[in-house]
Structure 1
Amino acid sequence: MLDEIIDEALKQAGESSTARNIQSVSGGSINESYYVEMDQNQYFVKYHATAPAHFFEAEAKGLENIRSTDSIDTPEVLAYQDKPGQSFLVMEWMSGESTQETQSLLGERIAKMHLSHAEYHGLDQQTFIGDLPQPNQLCREWVDYYRTFRLERQLELGRERHRIADKREEKLIHLIDNLEKYIPHDIAPSYLHGDLWSGNWLPGPKGTPYVIDPSFLYGDRHFDLAFTEMFGGFTQDFYNAYNEIYPISSDYEVLKPIYQLYYSLVHLNMFGESYGGLVDRILKRYA
């Protein structure tokens, strides 16, 4: 069955022959990922047996939006399909090694992406964070979008999964109700990656940085930056280079835990109580 799906993926990508070599590769915990070698070309194929509707479409459009900024490179999407049991995405195979300049280039190019601005915050279509559906809407104010479509969404999910209750729930509701105390009203809606951790960028040829697996939206650029600091993988060269192109706001240290809270809630709702302490430590700062 998998061979048939990969053959169909390659056919849609423009190949007429069968694969010479297919190898399973690491590609996160959500999808099965494969390196596929043909006579002339190499591909990266992702397969998800139980993908939600529009799952790979959202990823492909997110990469297209990032590519449209002419700032940071993304692998070219060659084909995708969202069908029950037969969902896949095909991209060009990307490989390379980091150089001394890679982190600086990554910082510069993420800053240039953030210098691309939209008229509204949010997005006009659903995306995903991991495999959690992320409802969206376009909003005039970032604080309104972040409250309703990010924090309140995770609050609802946490209640459903019995991971947010009692004091944790009270503190989260208190922060949600008081976001205006911390989030300014004059934020420009930048193009954002939306899931910018170290596993979602890689070095390509000559160490050129590429980003992958976005959960794209328009919003406060510090939302992207806050996630880069949660799990490491970004050096001081990255932040220095970013700051040279687009100086980080003096409000960032106040905003950073509030934005990291969203990603902490996502991990709590996806993976369980091992992330509960992280959520509680952030909430304690603002309760």
Structure 2
Amino acid sequence: MGGPSGELLAALQTSVSDVAGSFRIERTTPVAGGCVHRSFILEGGGRKYFAKINERSQFDSFAAEAEGLAALAAAGARVPAPLCRGQAHEHAFLVLEHLELRGNGDYAALGRSLAAVHSVHGAAFGWHRDNYIGRTAQLNRRSASWSDFWREARLGPQLELARKNRLGRDLVGKGERLAEALPRLLSEHAPAASLLHGDLWSGNAGFLAGGAPVLFDPAVYWGDREADLAMTELFGGFPQAFYAAYAEVAPLAQGYAVRKTLYNLYHVLNHANLFGGGYAAQAKAMIERLLAELR
């Protein structure tokens, strides 16, 4: 797949110029790694920006991402600052500050940074708008009850997608039993509504040259901070220094090991609905483990 079209380059150039001063794109370099959008580094006049591009229908996902980054920044996290977004014919785009990131750095600082983000609390669970978890719409209707929110905005929608995608009647049936039992499973847990990154696996965090941590690609909402911690363990995990530093600031409550499975079930179901493969079997096994906790 080639680079941006001439019309799209002109729109990007104009949009950046409007907010950051005259900018002429001299070079575009594709960036690998994303599974939802195409990404490029835009260079010109000694300046660099990071651009994400997709179909015009994805414009709302860029608006949600920019808003999420701004929320994390307001909570003290280092993020690539959103610069501008727009549409050009059949395309939508988001332009961000370009940061030279590496895969390793000060994980203890990352743990402390996340704890600081989680110390920011909202009045209810959810968010003032829906957003996206990968390519999937993420519902965020506000609720005063954490178990209700997790059933209605997280587990329920994924189970409905699983039914439509024919991932198995046994998986869906057991998942619905679990969803109805959430008040019991979470009966002794009363989390605050913390600001969450929402999609925090190792691929959505990086480090500047000096080791300072950076968060990106969020799916923010107000929720149980353990949901963020759980996802950091789902796809490989972070080094122990991250967890130790986080716990020093904000220790986890008893029962986290069980809730971790519940929270990660949402992401495994989402992967099953998006990619199929072995994720459905993994989700079913997680559901069965959680149901066993209720016996």
Query: TM-score under structure 1 normalisation?
Result: 0.94
Aligned to 2:96: 91
Match of residue 82 from structure 2: 77
Tell me which residue corresponds to 1:161. 165
Residues 50, 273 of structure 1: alpha-carbon distance in 2 compared, 3 angstrom cutoff: farther
Aligned-partner residue type, residue 282 of structure 2:
L
Is 1:221 aligned to 2:225, yes or no? yes
**Paired residue for 1:58, among 64, 67, 72?**
64
Number of equivalenced pairs: 284
Q: Is residue 10 from structure 1 mapped to residue 10 from structure 2 by the alignment?
A: no
State the match for 2:183 in structure 1.
Answer: 180
Q: Which residue number corresponds to residue 204 of structure 1?
A: 208
The alpha carbon displacement at 1:131 in A equals 1.2
Answer yes or no: is the 8 Å Cα contact 1:105–1:238 preserved in 2. yes
Assess if the C-alpha contact under 8 Å between 1:6 and 1:45 holds in 2. Answer: no
Deviations 1:9-37 (A, max 9, x none): 23212253421221101141100000111
2:114 alignment counterpart: 110
Once the two structures are TM-superposed, the CA of residue 98 in structure 1 deviates from its matched residue by 5.8
1:252 pairs with 2:237? no
Question: Displacement, 1:278?
Answer: 1.1
Task: Label 1:268 to 1:44 Cα distance change in 2 as closer, same or farther (>3 A).
Answer: same
C-alpha distance in structure 2 between counterparts of 1:262 and 1:84, whole Å: 35
8 Å contact from structure 1 (residues 124, 138) kept in 2: yes
| Bigger mean CA deviation after superposition, 90-99 or 214-223 | 90-99
Deviation at 1:233, TM superposition (A): 4.5
**Within 1, Cα distance between the matches of 2:89 and 2:108?**
41
Q: Choose the corresponding residue for 1:24, options 26, 30, 40.
A: 30
Partner residue of 1:36? 42
Cα distance, 1:174 vs structure 2:
0.9
CA contact (8 A) 2:7 2:88 kept: no
Residue equivalent to 1:144:
148
- Say which SS state the counterpart of residue 259 (structure 1) adopts: helix
Unaligned 5+ runs, structure 1: none
The one-letter code of the counterpart of 1:63 is L
Change (3 A) 1:50 1:13: closer
SS at match of 1:37: strand
2:235 alignment partner, SS class: coil
Report the CA distance between 1:159 and its aligned residue. 1.2
Structure 1 CA distance for aligned equivalents of residues 132 and 124 of structure 2: 19
Shift of 1:67: 0.9
Q: Taking structure 1 as reference, are residues 7 and 204 closer, same or farther at Cα in structure 2, changes over 3 Å only?
A: farther
Given that residues 114 and 191 in structure 1 are in contact (C-alpha distance below 8 angstroms), is that contact kept between their aligned partners in structure 2?
A: yes
User: Which amino acid in structure 2 is aligned with residue 28 of structure 1?
Assistant: G
Structure 2 runs not aligned, ≥5 long:
none
Match of 1:273, SS state, is coil
Q: What is the alpha-carbon distance in structure 2 between the residues aligned to residue 208 and residue 89 of structure 1?
A: 24
Q: Give the drift of 1:126.
A: 1.2
Q: Give the Cα–Cα distance (whole angstroms) in 1 for the partners of residues 95 and 266 of structure 2.
A: 30
Deviations 1:69-118 (A, max 9, x none): 12x21111100125672210001111144666x11110110011001111
Matched, 1:262 2:266: yes
1:274 match: 278
Contact between 2:120 and 2:194, CA under 8 Å: does it hold in 1?
Answer: yes
